[in-house]
Amino acid sequence: MRAFLAAAALLLAGTVGANAQLTKMTIATGVDPAFSQFYVAKEGGLFEKHGLDVTINTGPSGSAMIPFLINNQVQAAYGSDLAGVINHQVDGNIVAVADGTYLVKWLSVVGRNVADLEGLKGKKVGIAMGTGSEIFWRRVLEKRGLKLADFTMVNVEAPEMLAATERGDIDGFAVWEPWPTRTLMAVKGTKILQTAEGIYNNINFVYMNRGWIEQNKATAEKFMRALLEANDMIGKDRSAAAKMVAKFLKMPLELATELMPKVEFDMDWQARSIEAIQVSEKQLADQKKLKAPLDYSKYVYMDLLKAVRPENVKVTALPK
């Protein structure tokens, strides 16, 4: 680990004098370890290595930052499968360029002063609408044979769920880490009522603006190389990567170390990547929120990853 950090320090030192030649990019995402490739690429000096001066803007969730791709307010964003499809309907230039993380044990339903999901009936449940939180909650109810109308869904951004639970504004919530773990640590009477295992494992995708990619192919490829190398770092030296993630997020190292194994870091395209998009499309269709059937050839942009690391593209055909 010391050698790893020393190498990163030398890399950063060597690029300080060359900052004037770096290409500026602004990217955006949320504040949890499911977006670790962005943080590791920044803290590990990988963006600079590839000639990029990258600013990372963070918001209440990765999904909330995807709309900033419209009109190139940011050049890349990292968020949920559902949010990507929603925003592609608004601007067809918003495309998914890579499957970034598969959330294995990442989402939970938390309740306060209730024994089980049945105990939440008639109560207020916090949901981050338009994100993986909403898909997860609906899938939980479907799998458990419960009715949506039996619960009051309250739109709450993920970072606000702990405080809302503590105040009594909501009686429970369905969302991703680190908010379930942090809530259990901070609020008495809270417990996990349902995990995502066997229910729903959503995927966070890296999104970009197709027009910007095509006008800045060399820069886009450099950006993708940096993310792939960050992904490699996470796989080879998890402890060093966790330290970088904790530093960027100002999160206790122990928490980052505990949470990161709950996620698979991919940066690829595979069958389950497409399946996750199909789940999102179906949910929007069921809610009458799908403007038109999704054109996968326009939404799934595999060319960028294929140009940089073709072996990571394992999808040979897209749904029609």
Identity of the residue numbered 56: I
Task: Judge whether residue 8 has pLDDT over 60.
Answer: no
Domains of the chain, start order: 2-102+202-312 (3.40.190.10), 107-195 (3.40.190.10)
Backbone angles phi, psi at 319, to 5 degrees: -60, 150
Q: What is the pLDDT of residues 205-259, one digit of tens each?
A: 999 999 999 999 999 999 999 999 999 999 999 999 999 999 999 999 999 999 9
Cα separation, 214 vs 234, in Å, equals 29
Q: What is the pLDDT of residues 250-297, one digit of tens each?
A: 999 999 999 999 999 999 999 999 999 999 999 899 989 999 999 999
Task: Judge whether residue 5 has pLDDT over 60.
Answer: no
Cα separation, 183 vs 192, in Å, equals 10
- Please name the helix (run of DSSP H) or strand (run of DSSP E) that holds residue 161, with its range, or none: helix 161-167
Percentage, residues of the chain above pLDDT 90: 87
Predicted confidence at residue 31, as pLDDT, reads 93
- What is the residue-averaged pLDDT of the chain? 93
Q: What is the pLDDT of residues 94-148, one digit of tens each?
A: 999 999 999 988 999 999 999 999 999 999 999 999 888 998 999 999 999 999 9
Q: Considering the entire predicted model, what is its pTM?
A: 0.83
Predicted confidence at residue 16, as pLDDT, reads 45
Write the DSSP assignment of 32-89 as a string of letters. Answer: SGGGHHHHHHHHTTHHHHTTEEEEEEE-S-HHHHGGGGGGGSSSEEEEEHHHHHHHHH
Strands 94-103 and 203-209: antiparallel
Predicted confidence at residue 15, as pLDDT, reads 47
Cα separation, 80 vs 63, in Å, equals 6
Residues in CB range of 129: below 8 A, 6 or more apart = 153, 155
Residue 175 exposed, middle or buried by CB count within 10 Å (0-12, 13-18, 19+):
buried
Distance from the first to the final alpha carbon of the chain: 47
Predicted confidence at residue 240, as pLDDT, reads 97
Lowest-confidence pick of 150-154, 258-262, 274-278, 312-316? 258-262
Predicted confidence at residue 64, as pLDDT, reads 94
Cα separation, 101 vs 204, in Å, equals 5
Identity of the residue numbered 180: P
